[in-house]
Chains A and B, each alone.
Chain A
Amino acid sequence: MAAVACASVPDDADALLAVALAGDVERSFEHLVIAYRARIVNFVARMLHDDARAEDVAQDVFVRAYRALKTYPAERRAALRLRSWLYAIAHNLTRNAFRDAPPPSDSLEYEDGAPRAALIDDEPGPEHLVLRAEAWESIGDAIARLSAALRPAFVMRYVDDLSYEEIAESLDQPIGTVKASAHRGLLAVRAHLEKNDD
């Protein structure tokens, strides 16, 4: 699924980048921007459902990352898990905008998080629907209708291909919580897509 959204950054590349940042933040910083700009811009766009603002907010993500890196001691920079760290910054920046926005009038969930549309059987899996390029527009609509509680975990897991451990780090939540949020988001998106296919 991540191959559709963005090229992923291998973990060992992340580790090397963290070591480079530990050595010289200024000279290594552009490598970090290049490695993550597409992912962060697209993550922000999905979180805000606003392509026009996505680049501005994503630029702010990197500026804040740079300022933080300049204050961290070298050992802390070397130990950073860059992907979850950057997503955490992006999540924090988009959360306020998300919170300020009015709740979607056509939310995919009831107040308890249960999907509004009827569920269908597990096969074929919703991931297959997500992989279809022609379904991408519908997925964007579906993501925009997810609540603030489900959207970050769903996007990080099923669009950006982060591990549950990384998502838990980014959102500062227990793994069980992010698993449940991602799954409930998945069911809601899937139900929405099935309904639209009818």
Chain B
Amino acid sequence: MIEVSPDFTAKVFAGCGLDRYTTASSALGEMFVAWSDCGVSAVRIVSDEQGFEAWYRERFERGCVPAVEIDPIATAARARLQGEDVEVPVDLRDCSPFEERVLRKAAEIARGNARPYRWVARELGAPAAMRAVGNALGRNPVPLLIPCHRIIRTDLTAGGYVFGTDAKRKLLETEGVDFGAIETVTRRGFRYVGCERGWFCLPTCGTVARRIDDPGYMGLRNAEEAHEHGLVPCHLCRPIAA
């Protein structure tokens, strides 16, 4: 007697040109989570099923039906949306190569951090492509799983989001981003926060903005000031790219 593989049904559905979806709890409430045999293909706030299915068919040119069974991909997605640190495969076949690069870069940004659009553009070697970066993030099919909410405006305010600016700010704050501290830094004209231990960061790198008045920390207006203090760019936030 052969045991049937857990992804058997997903492969059958792939052959039929159909994906499946279920619901999952997240920091922003109930979500529709759709997936194919390649990974999670869409995350959207729960609305009426027919509307979601019509949107899915128009965007992905495949059908999507409510799942009867939950397989390993959907199980992993549910766990991630509830905050567990698990790997979730994502299906980005619908995205252009550039969009996929933008989204993979966004996926590198750790919880509790944020980076400006310009930072993403420079990291990808296309500093003039800020608008294209914004468009790619706006088309992110799997928000929350790929944390496009961690990309913010260059002035370090939240900026747009598929689920609204308020939701974006709430998510970032839940993850530990302190907008009050960041605004204090930028209002004082500082672009970076330096540490006497030898490095300087973006104000959105972890909790560094909160420490600007702590002993051993300092506000910096530009990279030249950092160099004058003998500081090197943080290897995590790579501030020069911003």
Partner of B67, one of A4, A30, A41: A30
Given that A26-B63, A27-B65, A27-B66 are contacting pairs, would A33 and B2 also be in contact in the complex, using a CB cutoff of 8 Å?
no
Tally of A-B Cβ pairs under 8 angstroms: 61
Q: Tell me if B54 is interfacial: C-beta within 8 Å of chain A.
A: no
For window 119-174 of A, CB contacts with B under 8 Å fall at 136
Which residue, of B2, B13, B66, has the highest number of chain A Cβ atoms within 10 A? B2
Given that A42-B1, A45-B2 are contacting pairs, would A37 and B8 also be in contact in the complex, using a CB cutoff of 8 Å?
yes
How close is A46's CB to chain B, nearest CB, in angstroms? 10
> Which of A55-63, A79-87, A100-108, A181-189 is the interface stretch?
A55-63
For window 66-80 of B, CB contacts with A under 8 Å fall at 66-69
- Closest residue on chain B to residue A39 by CB atoms: B4
Q: Please count how many residues in chain A sit with their CB below 8 Å of the partner chain's CB atoms.
A: 26
Q: Are A41 and B15 in contact (CB under 8 A)?
A: no
Q: Tell me if A34 is interfacial: C-beta within 8 Å of chain B.
A: yes
For window 37-53 of A, CB contacts with B under 8 Å fall at 37-38, 41-42, 45, 51
Partner of A29, one of B1, B5, B11, B18: B18
Q: Tell me if A117 is interfacial: C-beta within 8 Å of chain B.
A: no
Q: Are B15 and A34 in contact (CB under 8 A)?
A: no
- Closest residue on chain A to residue B53 by CB atoms: A26
Q: Tell me if B16 is interfacial: C-beta within 8 Å of chain A.
A: yes
- Closest residue on chain A to residue B11 by CB atoms: A59
* Interface residues on chain B, size class: 10 to 19
Q: Are A55 and B5 in contact (CB under 8 A)?
A: yes
Q: Are B2 and A63 in contact (CB under 8 A)?
A: no
SS of B interface (majority): mixed
Residues in B with CB closer than 8 Å to A175 are none
Q: Within the assembled complex, what's the spacing in Å between the Cα atoms of A42 and B12?
A: 16
- Closest residue on chain B to residue A64 by CB atoms: B15
Q: B1-39 vs A: 1/0 string, CB under 8 Å? A: 110110011011101101010000000000000000000
Partner of A37, one of B1, B4, B65: B4
- Closest residue on chain B to residue A60 by CB atoms: B15
Q: Tell me if A78 is interfacial: C-beta within 8 Å of chain B.
A: no
Q: Tell me if A195 is interfacial: C-beta within 8 Å of chain B.
A: no
Q: Tell me if A98 is interfacial: C-beta within 8 Å of chain B.
A: no
How close is A42's CB to chain B, nearest CB, in angstroms? 6
Residues in B with CB closer than 8 Å to A4 are 1
Q: Are A67 and B16 in contact (CB under 8 A)?
A: yes
Residues in B with CB closer than 8 Å to A67 are 16
Residues in B with CB closer than 8 Å to A63 are 12, 15-16
| Given A26-B18, A59-B12, 15 new contacts (CB under 8 A) | A26-B63, A27-B66, A29-B65, A30-B20, A30-B65, A33-B8, A33-B12, A37-B8, A41-B2, A41-B4, A42-B1, A45-B2, A55-B5, A62-B15, A66-B16
24 interchain pairs, CB-CB under 8 A:
A5-B1, A26-B63, A27-B65, A29-B16, A29-B18, A30-B13, A30-B65, A30-B69, A33-B12, A34-B9, A34-B68, A34-B69, A38-B4, A41-B2, A45-B2, A55-B2, A55-B4, A58-B8, A62-B12, A62-B16, A66-B12, A66-B15, A66-B16, A66-B18
